Amino acid sequence: MNLNSLPIIMIRCLLLTIIIELIVALILGVRDKKDIINVILVNVITNPVVVVSQTLLYIKFGYTIEMIGIGILEVVVVIVEGLIYKKVLKYNKLNPILLSLLLNATSFFIGELINIL
């Protein structure tokens, strides 16, 4: 992994995250078009921050620090996205933080599985 490959990595990660999280959101009952658009927009904002941070942590400090940093970043993202969802989504079947946790956990673990394969 190097900085030259970062734009491709960012696009790939963002697209996969959006696809996975939309599928999970639909499974969880998110149906309103504005809610779906908001799920996409939230990921457009948060995903690049996580991907760039992860890449820089790996390049500068190595795998162990990258994993610790990702754990911290993912917790922050779940909280931030949950608070945004609380303010903007009409969806109310799940607590917004729980919705964020489910969406992010699913996309994270599927992304890791794809990386392993």
One-letter amino acid at 50 equals V
Higher pLDDT, 13 or 1: 13
Asked if pLDDT for residue 84 goes beyond 90, the answer is yes
91 backbone dihedrals φ, ψ, rounded to 5°: -55, 130
Q: What is the pLDDT of residues 21-73, one digit of tens each?
A: 999 999 999 999 999 999 999 999 999 999 999 999 999 999 999 999 999 99
* Count of domains observed in the chain: 1
- Scored b (16 or more CB within 10 A) or e, 59-76 reads eeeeeeebeebbeebbee
Closest CA to 81 of 13, 17, 8: 17
* Whether the predicted model's global pTM rises above the 0.85 cut: yes
For 64, the domain range is: 3-116
Q: What is the pLDDT of residue 3?
A: 79
Q: Does residue 1 carry a pLDDT above 70?
A: no
Structural contact between residues 28 and 102, judged by C-beta atoms closer than 8 angstroms: yes
Classify residue 5 by its DSSP letter.
G
Closest CA to 108 of 62, 51, 60: 51
